[in-house]
Amino acid sequence: MLTCQLLTAQIVAGKDDVEERNFFYSDTANGEFAFGDYDPKDMIKLEDGSLLIGTELRIHFPSSYKSPEKLDSLYWARHEIFMQKTHVSSGTVIKLNPDMEKEWETVFSEKRVEKILKTTDGRILIVGEEVTMKYVWMVELGPEGNIIRENRYTYKNKVTIANAIIDEHNDVYLLLESSHIVPVKTRKDFGKRYFYFFRDSEMNSHIAVAKVNSDGKLKWLKPVDKRAQYIKFGHELVVNNELVFSSFWYSGFEKDSLIEGEKAVQLSKSGKRKSAHNITQQYMLFFDNGLVTITSHSQGRLLLFRSGAVIDSIQISSADNDVRISHAIQTPDGYLILAANHDNNRDYLLISLSPDLKFKKYWTYPRDEYNEICGAVRLDSGETILVGKCYRKEEGGEKRLVTYINLVKIKSGAE
């Protein structure tokens, strides 16, 4: 029977209910100071309560783009310093101690970090993509942030990574997006037709799942959709003891009609395709006696599904009628669904599920600045720490929006 929770399940947190910590990136080059952008991508907890946060980092120095009167040796010396400090799109991994104080940071120059994974024996694996999209990569990090090894994987032409997950056997599954080479392309300019040979398709037309072991060895790589006339973006990965589920969004034209939707593909652990079905307007969460999904975008009421059947619902108070789901984490007393409530500035939103998959209550935290939830962990103390991407207008200088990391420790109320 479909049920709907009452609005009294809502808990609105104030400043006294949380402890916050913000992390900005800044640097100097040739005497010029600049703020960069920290874009948090993932967060995990280590056994001692420390945190690892993966980020995307961008920073530039406005003076580096100014044209000099002459290109002398002094200019080139300054230019070299600017280039050493500039990051177009690099990845970093930050370690924070249990008091949320920074211990170290490892920077992957022009390599974006997407996911942080932890093996059952405590090894740390970082997964990301190279900015030119020549390959995706996985490294093992040592306890001080040192790189122990790196493995690279390619697929078709330009390849990016949409998601990654690790199972109970320490096998890693990568959800890949890739363009392909078009043997002949034509383009008409100013009444003339031009032919181009072996050019990139310039869009993600292939979706694939790769399986690698924790030592980085590729076990298999299976395409799940390679229709050339569609653009596709990978979303989620879910694994259980026997199956791998991947989801992706697709859009294309057939006979001048727009065709778009969301699809879930089921593979065996050996890579054999089992099934595929549309899950339009649903977001994959986890596997619990069936694939559990939730309404991906709701104007108030969220529906929870198991194997495609509605099992519960909850009404979310939202002045803008705009609630969006991020992902879920498992807790000792069920699950926490991470979401964003677009009231005001995209408030943080946590929705708790009981072990029998019933909505319990939800917790929201309005902030003064625009923010977006990116991840959360549950501490042994029962407290929850969430990480968000936030924006603040820079004072002076360019007066642009600066992206920074916002950590929120919830003292109570989100269980």
Pairing of strands 371-378, 359-365: unpaired
Q: Averaged in consecutive runs of 10 residues, what is the pLDDT profile of the chain (415 residues)?
A: 45 83 94 92 95 96 80 83 91 96 96 97 96 95 96 93 96 91 58 56 81 96 89 94 95 86 95 92 94 84 93 87 88 92 79 95 87 92 93 75 94 61
pLDDT for the residue 7 = 39
Nearest C-alpha neighbor of 111 from the set 86, 84, 136, 75 = 136
What letter represents residue 14's amino acid? G
Distance, in Å, from the CA atom of 22 to the CA atom of 20, rounded to the nearest integer, reads 7
pLDDT for the residue 398 = 65
pLDDT for the residue 4 = 39
Q: Looking at the domain that runs over 4-410, which CATH code has it been given?
A: 2.130.10.10
Is 54 within 8 Å of 22 (Cβ atoms)? Answer: no
Q: SS3 for 83?
A: helix
Distance, in Å, from the CA atom of 142 to the CA atom of 123, rounded to the nearest integer, reads 8
Distance, in Å, from the CA atom of 14 to the CA atom of 12, rounded to the nearest integer, reads 7
pLDDT for the residue 3 = 38
pLDDT for the residue 6 = 38
Q: What is the pTM for the complete model shown? A: 0.89
pLDDT for the residue 253 = 84
* Cα–Cα separations (whole angstroms), residue 11 to 29, 64, 80, 360: 46, 48, 52, 11
What letter represents residue 391's amino acid? Y
